[in-house]
Structure 1
Amino acid sequence: MNWIDLATFAAALFVAAMAPGPGIAAIVARVLAHGRKGATAFCTGMMLGDVVWLSLAVFGLAFIAHSFASVFLVVRYAGAAYLLYLGWRMWSAPASAIRLPTSGAERPCRLFFGGLAVTLGNPKTIVFYLALMPNLFDLKRVTLLGYGELMMVTLLILGFVFAGYVVLAHMARGLFSTPRALRWLNRGVGTVMAGAAAAIASR
């Protein structure tokens, strides 16, 4: 692909990724709750979800998303249920729970698939790749090499944006030190998680 198309795609993706949505809310809320532990696995799953939607758009397979609408609907509700579960755990957690290490139940593979489900069911991501991306450039002219370049740009942009949110959330987490502040943080994180779940499930 020529550099103009890649730059256009990169700029559009950067703006879309930076804009707050269910995915960003999930990342920030999780880091506020548990710190950076597990954030890499969760973000990697989200990034792979973007690659899935990118692939469907580039190879003209958007019809798959419509043909298997019920499958993606299940994935969407699975992602929403996962966020709702995390939200409930944070809302009901004692004030000291935020300082505890991530529980053994949250294995990297579970976090990875949780992030994947969140992105596959995220309406903002779906709209970007299947509706907006075809208007950025002619997808019919994308070669296999061009697809590889787009995928690399996608991973680089998302990795940069997600890492930035993780760092900022981790810094903000350090401001909560008293039991009262931790209790409000737990409940705030739980509310954000529930809101992200509602945003995914209602679209």
Structure 2
Amino acid sequence: MQHYPLYLLMAAATVVSPGPGILMTLTNSLRFGLRGTMGGILGTACGSFIVAGVSATSLGLLLAASALAFTVMKWIGAAYLFYLGVKLLLAPAFRFDEIKTQPRGFARRFGEGMAVQLTNPKSIFFFLSIFPQFIDTQGAYAPQFLLLVGTFSSLIILIHTVYALTAQRARRWLASERGGKWVNKAGGMTFLLFGALLANANK
């Protein structure tokens, strides 16, 4: 695949850009420690794989062509982001000194990460626009598809882990009750902002 290095750069730039998934990784790292982030990170990576698969089907084409389908997905995604934002704003301040080293709820974190990715229609259109540019129509489709999506999902795991480690290093700075309240407010307002942007997005 001739243009794979270019795809790698584009995918990395997309993953490293701040968004709901990155915010979830940061807050999970601060709440539950490094281990507590892995469920959400793997859920986000798996969600990308599913979104890419859907994008390659007639459903993906329908979402790209149908204004109604796009609007439905857009509002589902926006509603979920609003829910996460309000939940954070109403939550008590983070108490980092009470974080458990072996947090429970891996499946729940996995589901949350996947939900954030699956309810974002922009992910579908990202894959719809990127794949045609980098897949060689003369070659076998499946191996190329798996390589591109596998690369994207692997980058999610790598980059989100770096974000989680960064949050761990900053935990002392945020260890006070005031810092915990700031994280809640900043995180909640960011989710609300992403929800508002998504609600106003056009195809």
Q: What interval of TM-score do these two structures reach, taking the shorter chain for normalisation? A: 0.7 to 0.9
1:183 maps to 181
Matches within 5 A, 1:1-203: 2=1, 4-58=2-56, 62-66=60-64, 77-95=75-93, 97-101=95-99, 107-138=105-136, 141-203=139-201
Q: Is the 8 A contact 1:75 1:121 kept in 2?
A: yes
Output the CA distance in 2 between the equivalents of 1:97 and 1:34: 10
* CA-based RMSD: 3.2
Aligned-pair identity (%): 25
The Cα shift of 1:170 comes to: 2.3
The Cα shift of 1:74 comes to: 5.9
Output the CA distance in 2 between the equivalents of 1:141 and 1:60: 21
The Cα shift of 1:129 comes to: 0.8
Q: Does 163-172 or 27-36 show the bigger shift?
A: 27-36
Q: Is the 8 A contact 1:33 1:98 kept in 2?
A: yes
Output the CA distance in 2 between the equivalents of 1:158 and 1:96: 25
Q: TM-score, normalised by structure 2?
A: 0.76
Q: Secondary structure at the match of 2:157?
A: helix
Output the CA distance in 1 between the equivalents of 2:138 and 2:74: 28
**CA deviations over 1:105-144 (Å, ceiling 9, x no partner):** x832232222112112224423321123323444574422
User: Residues 49 and 73 from structure 1, CA distance in 2 versus in 1: closer, same or farther, beyond 3 angstroms?
Assistant: farther
Q: Is the 8 A contact 2:62 2:69 kept in 1?
A: no
Q: Is the 8 A contact 1:79 1:114 kept in 2?
A: no
The Cα shift of 1:154 comes to: 2.1
User: Residues 25 and 7 from structure 1, CA distance in 2 versus in 1: closer, same or farther, beyond 3 angstroms?
Assistant: same
**CA deviations over 1:31-67 (Å, ceiling 9, x no partner):** 3344334311111121122112322445676324358
